[in-house]
């Protein structure tokens, strides 16, 4: 249940942290990077 403390961490699978964690922020940046590179190649 600790994963849902931040509200957004539960969706990212990050447990035991609250709010935006460094892992969640890196995951968001990675997803944006994949979208940008995919738009370039396709």
Q: What is the pLDDT of residue 26?
A: 80
**∠ CA 4-22-37, rounded to 5°:** 110
pTM: 0.43
**Helix, strand, or coil (residue 39):** helix
What pLDDT digit, counting tens, does each position of 7-22 carry?
444 444 545 455 555 6
Euclidean distance between CA atoms 42 and 8, whole angstroms = 30
CB distance 13 to 26 below 8 Å: no
CB distance 20 to 6 below 8 Å: yes
């Amino acid at each position: 249940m600790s994963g849902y403390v931040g509200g957004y961490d539960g969706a990212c699978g990050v447990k035991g942290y609250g709010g935006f964690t460094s892992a969640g922020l890196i995951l968001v940046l990675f997803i944006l990077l994949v979208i940008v590179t995919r738009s370039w190649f396709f």
